[in-house]
């Protein structure tokens, strides 16, 4: 079933509505929409009418909204690629063994052998470096091999370097997820490390049926079971889009999707904008906006920063990372999307890129409420209070990933920026105290940490604030569980222009609901990530129920 056409459903128990009401114990659903709410008086009235009522243990909450993912890319990679992430492997030798095992098992994408490690793979492997092209050559000199280390940096063997002709990207000014990087050794020979060019490598994509199967499997195993019922998807290929549309229309992937056409991966920005304006998708898909990249990734040492990088992590002294788009290009994208009534999502990792994005918004003039999202806004702030006030003044929507605080910001940003990197790391308390409610998301992509798609992992990072090595990270910037829940429901829905429809339990909203084994507000910080979703309804249809031993 795909359309919201379920029969009446009445749920009774403890309800966390994400609204000002605390008296709700009874939720009435008809045709996939919440039609009535009340307390035990409503419950007794319905019992008196002989209404069938579903009692539940634990607590009922709205389904989670994850407004920034690379679901299609992640699912497609999981179908064929070899998992080389830490802690599945811990050393380069173990990573090479995993790749060799994958080669023997025939896990190939055409002639390519594809592996994936974590963000900041070079810091998580025991050797504290990436594999070299020569080490990958020890697995095969005939098959091209790539190991993706998150979405921004990859390592290629010699066959892959030759096939991809990476030298053509030397000096390129605009890349896909940031400005292209091709690392050279002292002799001018590519080392195998490249950045921001993955879709230019020429790796064959899975066929349509394989994609549909992968989307179905990964959504149900890594999103639905964690209560994620609405997803903001960054779309980078027509093939992925077509498979996602089929998966949605058939009900195989029952989630709601708000889609953002990535420029230039999906199409040049003008064409991407035209697609958003004209898209007729069906199922539970809607075209929300376009996405552009102001800079690249920290893991590729490509995020544009106001502070210079450490000499140990810079190609030359005085290096500040790289802007991918000039301000004029950002302003043009802002003006065209505002005129079309379409959202613009701006990827801005580094402090300089975020400043450029805010300057462009100011120069473009007043923006429509909800018209501009800035992805990763607030990763690191050198002047948190004044910068956050500027967010409020410009009216942008910050879309943040607290999981990154644990994944890399806490421990590896200070390594890149020793003079400033230990202050202002995702200052959530400051942000909320200034009256800004950011949207929380996973940004799950190839190379995401295991469990990154679980919203409770994100919430645990926002509340517990511990780094990759387990040390506290500016604990005065912690927020409460209730605040974090709001960011992953109400605020996340607003970032997709879906307020009142998802991420809430209120009359008129979609009946996208989950039951939890524990009230997250009543458990210890160390237990938040272990909270289980026991049932998930989408449009009033039970799509997931935990299997009990």
pLDDT in tens, 87-103: 999 999 999 999 999 99
Report the 10 Å Cβ neighbour count for 136: 30
pLDDT of residue 548: 67
Among the listed residues 21, 32, 18, the one whose alpha carbon sits nearest the alpha carbon of residue 62: 18
pLDDT of residue 173: 64
pLDDT of residue 1: 42
Tokens of 391: 């967010």
> How many whole angstroms separate alpha carbon 257 and alpha carbon 230?
6
pLDDT of residue 322: 93
pLDDT of residue 4: 53
pLDDT of residue 250: 97
Altogether, the residues listed in the chain come to a count of 549
pTM for the whole structure: 0.95
Tokens of 402: 């607290």
> How many whole angstroms separate alpha carbon 435 and alpha carbon 244?
37
pLDDT one-digit tens code per residue, 410-420:
999 999 999 99
Report the 10 Å Cβ neighbour count for 361: 26
Report the 10 Å Cβ neighbour count for 114: 25
Listed as own residue / partner, the contacts of 312-321 with beta carbons closer than 8 Å and 24 or more positions apart are 313/415, 313/416, 320/352, 321/295, 321/296, 321/350, 321/352, 321/353
> How many whole angstroms separate alpha carbon 448 and alpha carbon 144?
23
Residues with Cβ within 8 Å of residue 507, at least 6 apart in sequence: 34, 35, 36, 37
What values do phi and psi take at 301, rounded to 5? 55, 40
pLDDT of residue 285: 98
> How many whole angstroms separate alpha carbon 75 and alpha carbon 218?
6
Torsion of CA 480, 482, 483, 487, to 10 degrees: 130
Residues with Cβ within 8 Å of residue 243, at least 6 apart in sequence: 72, 208, 211, 212, 215
Domain 72-200 bears CATH identifier 3.10.310.70: yes
Reduced 3-state DSSP string for 198-229 = HHHCCCCCCCHHHHHHHHHHHHHHHCHHHCEE
Report the 10 Å Cβ neighbour count for 351: 25
Q: Where are the domains of the chain?
A: 9-62+509-545, 72-200
pLDDT of residue 196: 87
Query: CB of 523 within 8 A of CB of 515?
Result: no
Cis peptide before 372 (omega within 30 of 0): no
Among the listed residues 389, 372, 308, the one whose alpha carbon sits nearest the alpha carbon of residue 338: 372
pLDDT of residue 180: 85
For residue 109, the cross-strand partners are 112
* DSSP codes joined into one string, 392-411: HHHTPEEEE-THHIIIIIHH
Looking at residue 311, the DSSP 8-state letter turns out to be G
Looking at residue 432, the DSSP 8-state letter turns out to be H
* DSSP codes joined into one string, 473-536: --GGG---HHHHHHHTTHHHHHHTT-TTTSSS-STTSB--EEEESS-GGGS-GGGGGG--EEEE
User: pLDDT tens digits, the chain, 549 residues: what are they?
Assistant: 444 545 799 999 999 999 878 899 999 999 999 999 999 999 999 999 999 999 999 999 999 999 999 999 999 988 889 999 999 999 999 999 999 999 999 999 999 999 999 999 999 999 999 999 999 999 999 999 999 998 889 999 999 999 999 988 887 666 677 788 899 998 999 999 998 888 889 999 899 999 999 999 999 999 999 999 999 999 999 999 999 999 999 999 999 999 999 999 999 999 999 999 999 998 899 999 999 999 999 999 999 999 999 999 999 999 999 999 989 999 999 999 999 999 999 999 999 999 999 999 999 988 998 999 999 999 999 999 999 999 999 999 999 999 999 999 999 999 999 999 999 999 999 999 999 999 999 999 988 899 999 999 999 999 999 999 999 999 999 999 999 999 999 999 999 999 999 999 999 999 999 999 999 999 999 999 999 999 999 999 999 999 864
> How many whole angstroms separate alpha carbon 327 and alpha carbon 358?
10
Query: CB of 428 within 8 A of CB of 402?
Result: yes
**What number does CATH give the domain 9-62+509-545?**
2.30.40.10
Query: CB of 204 within 8 A of CB of 114?
Result: no
Q: Containing H/E element for 231?
A: strand 228-235
For residue 537, the cross-strand partners are 513, 542
pLDDT of residue 75: 95
């Amino acid at each position: 079933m795909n359309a919201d056409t379920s029969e009446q459903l009445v749920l009774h128990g403890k309800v966390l509505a994400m609204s000002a009401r605390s008296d709700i114990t009874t939720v009435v659903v008809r045709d996939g929409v919440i039609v009535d709410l009340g307390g035990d008086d409503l419950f007794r009235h319905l019992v008196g009418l002989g209404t069938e009522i579903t009692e539940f243990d634990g607590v009922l909450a709205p389904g989670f909204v994850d407004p920034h993912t690379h679901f299609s890319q992640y699912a497609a990679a999981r179908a064929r690629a070899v998992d080389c992430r830490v802690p599945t492997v811990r050393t380069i030798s173990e990573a090479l063994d995993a790749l060799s095992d994958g080669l023997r098992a025939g896990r190939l994408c055409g002639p390519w052998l594809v592996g994936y490690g974590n963000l900041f793979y070079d810091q998580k492997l025991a050797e504290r470096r990436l594999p070299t092209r020569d080490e990958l050559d020890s697995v095969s000199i005939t098959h091209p091999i790539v190991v993706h280390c998150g979405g921004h940096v990859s390592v290629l063997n010699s066959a892959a370097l030759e096939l991809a002709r990476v030298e053509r990207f030397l000096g390129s000014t605009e890349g896909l997820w940031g400005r292209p990087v091709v690392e050279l050794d002292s002799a001018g020979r590519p080392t195998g490390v490249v950045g921001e060019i993955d879709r230019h490598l020429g790796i064959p994509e899975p066929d349509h049926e394989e994609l549909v199967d992968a989307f179905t499997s990964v959504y149900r195993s890594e999103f639905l079971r964690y209560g994620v019922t609405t997803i903001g998807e960054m779309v980078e290929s027509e093939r992925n889009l077509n498979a996602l549309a089929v998966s949605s229309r058939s009900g195989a992937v029952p989630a709601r999707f708000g889609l953002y056409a990535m420029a230039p991966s999906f199409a040049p920005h003008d064409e991407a904008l035209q697609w958003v304006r004209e898209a007729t998708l069906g199922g539970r898909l809607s075209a929300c906006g376009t996405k552009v990249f102001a800079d690249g990734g920290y893991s590729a040492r490509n995020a544009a920063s106001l502070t210079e990088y450490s000499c140990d992590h810079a190609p030359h002294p005085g290096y500040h990372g790289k802007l991918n788009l000039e301000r004029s290009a950002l302003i043009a994208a802002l003006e065209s999307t505002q005129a079309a009534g379409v959202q613009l999502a701006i990827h801005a990792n580094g402090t300089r890129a975020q400043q450029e994005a805010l300057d462009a918004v100011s120069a473009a003039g007043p923006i429509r409420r909800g018209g501009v999202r800035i992805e990763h806004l607030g990763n690191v702030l050198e002047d948190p209070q004044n910068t956050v006030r500027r967010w409020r003044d410009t009216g942008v929507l910050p879309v943040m990933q607290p999981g990154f605080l644990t994944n890399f910001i806490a421990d590896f940003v200070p390594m890149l920026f020793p003079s400033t990197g230990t202050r202002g790391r995702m200052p959530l308390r400051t942000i909320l105290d200034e009256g800004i409610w950011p949207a929380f998301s996973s940004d799950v992509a190839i190379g995401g940490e295991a469990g990154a798609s679980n919203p409770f992992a994100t919430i645990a990072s926002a509340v517990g604030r511990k780094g990759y090595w387990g040390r506290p990270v500016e604990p005065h910037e912690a927020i409460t569980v209730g605040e974090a829940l709001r960011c992953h429901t109400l605020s996340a829905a607003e970032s997709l222009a879906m307020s009142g429809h998802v991420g809430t339990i209120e009359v008129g909203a979609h009946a996208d609901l989950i039951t939890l084994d524990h009230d997250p507000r009543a458990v210890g910080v160390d237990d938040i990530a272990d909270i289980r979703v026991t049932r998930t309804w989408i449009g009033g249809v039970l799509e997931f129920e935990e299997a009990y031993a």
